[in-house]
Structure formats: structure tokens, C-alpha cells
Amino acid sequence: MATPRDRAPLAERVEELLSAGGPLAIVAAGDPVLRCGAEPFDGQLEPGLLARFLEAMRVTMHAAPGVGLAAPQVGVGLRLAVVEDPAPVPDEVRVARGRVPLPYRVLVNPSYEAAGPGRAAFYEGCLSVPGYQAVVARHTEVRLTGQDERGRAFDEVLSGWPARIVQHETDHLDGTLYLDRAEPRSLASNEAAALRWSQPTPEAAARELGFEFEPPAP
Ligand code: ZN
């Protein structure tokens, strides 16, 4: 448990970030805050400040735009994240990737574990690694536990793209970037990815860039 004296600097830092108004600045790879792991949230920000901070994170995620944002990505080392994916993709992509809409939600102290043997590999990107995408194999189903912004516990199984998003964001809180789990030879600029690798699966990218890709078992 942090004492009130320990808590002050984080709250002050958040107040300072919020004082500018508008979207928060996103921290890019290379900043240690993305690598050192975030501390569990246990009231370091009082409820009003927490609500204002989460709203600013949501605004920042929308402005980026992105489908998830973890507190370390705005320089705050607390286990907090926001996610939201309206999933505006063609049916073909929706089916191949399981990219179904994920309504806005807050993850407080989330953690996940595999909820089945399945893994799926797709291109993904990160607001803290601007300009690039790479293929990452992730669990297709995870059990996610944590709390919402009011402290109510959740324990549920997610699959498809929502499972990918919560794995990516929870990894941020552990100091892990998607590149740590990515297939290095799949690395593509956003331009190259849009031009060449927008197919529903990375099968063609694997063949032409030279990396292993195992289509999911039927
Ligand atoms: Zn990210």
C-alpha cells in the first residue's frame, strides 16, 4: 500500500498532464516508462481525478486514432487502460480476424491468461511505435480479470480481436511492447502495410517477406 505521501507525485503529474486540456501527448518507444512495468492502481488518484484522467485517455485514443491506450503510453505508470473498437472493417476481414465491435471500457489492474490452445497471427500496430505494423501471434481466447473504473471486479473470456486488444494493452502494463512478440521479418511501414498487406490474413506477407505463418486450424 502506498502512503498518502507516496501518492502525491503521481496525482500531481496527472493534474499537470490534464492542465493542458485536449488529447494527451503519447509517449514513444524508447521511454523507460513503457518498459518498467506499471504499479497496481489502489487509489493513487482520487475518484474525481481518476475520472478526468480516464476521460482524457479516451479522448487521446479517439484522436490518435487507436483502439486501446494504456496509462504508461501517456507517461503514467499505473495499471489502467481504455479500449474501444467500433470495428469498421469489411465482412471478409471481420470473419477472418474475429474483429467484432468492442464497446468502450476501462481496465483497472487487468491480467490475462490463455483460455484455450488457439493462436492467431495478424498485423497489428501501436500508438507508441508510430509508422509501423508487424505480425503478432496471440492467444485467440483469453480469460481477462481486473476491475472497472468503479472498482467492480470482472472475470470473463474474450476472443477474436477484442482478445488481441486486451492482450496488447495489458502487455503495456507489464512493460512489454508488441514488437517483443512480433515476427521481425513481417515489419512493414503503415504505407507498405496498406498498399500490400491489407488482406484478411498475413499469408501472402509471410510468403513474400519470408516468415512463418500458420493459418489457424479449421
Ligand atoms: Zn500499444
pLDDT in tens, 56-73: 999 999 999 999 999 999
Asked if residue 49 belongs to a domain, the reply is yes
Asked if residue 215 belongs to a domain, the reply is no
How confident is the prediction along the chain (218 residues), in pLDDT tens digits per residue? 555 555 568 999 999 999 999 999 999 999 999 999 999 999 999 999 999 999 999 999 999 999 999 999 999 999 999 999 999 999 999 999 999 999 999 999 999 999 999 999 999 999 999 999 999 999 999 999 999 999 999 999 999 999 999 999 999 999 999 999 999 999 999 999 999 999 999 999 999 999 998 776 65
Give the domain extent around 183: 4-209
Asked if residue 183 belongs to a domain, the reply is yes
pTM comes to: 0.94
126 C-alpha vs ligand 1 centroid, how far in Å?
4
Asked if residue 53 belongs to a domain, the reply is yes
Asked if residue 88 belongs to a domain, the reply is yes
Domain total in the chain: 1
96: CATH: 3.90.45.10
Asked if residue 69 belongs to a domain, the reply is yes
- Peptide bond connecting 65 to the previous residue in cis, omega within 30 degrees of 0: yes
177 C-alpha vs ligand 1 centroid, how far in Å?
7
Task: Read off φ and ψ for residue 143, nearest 5 degrees.
Answer: -95, 120
Q: Indicate left, alpha or beta for 131 from its phi (over 0: left) and psi (-120 to 50: alpha).
A: left
Asked if residue 80 belongs to a domain, the reply is yes
- Where are the strands (E) in 23-152, listed by range? 68-70, 80-85, 102-114, 119-125, 132-139, 141-147
Reply yes or no on whether 169 is catalytic: yes
Catalytic-role residue among 39, 169, 183, 214? 169
42 C-alpha vs ligand 1 centroid, how far in Å?
23
Asked if residue 218 belongs to a domain, the reply is no
204 C-alpha vs ligand 1 centroid, how far in Å?
25
pLDDT in tens, 187-211: 999 999 999 999 999 999 999 999 9
Compute the Cα dihedral for 46, 65, 167, 176 and give only its sign.
negative
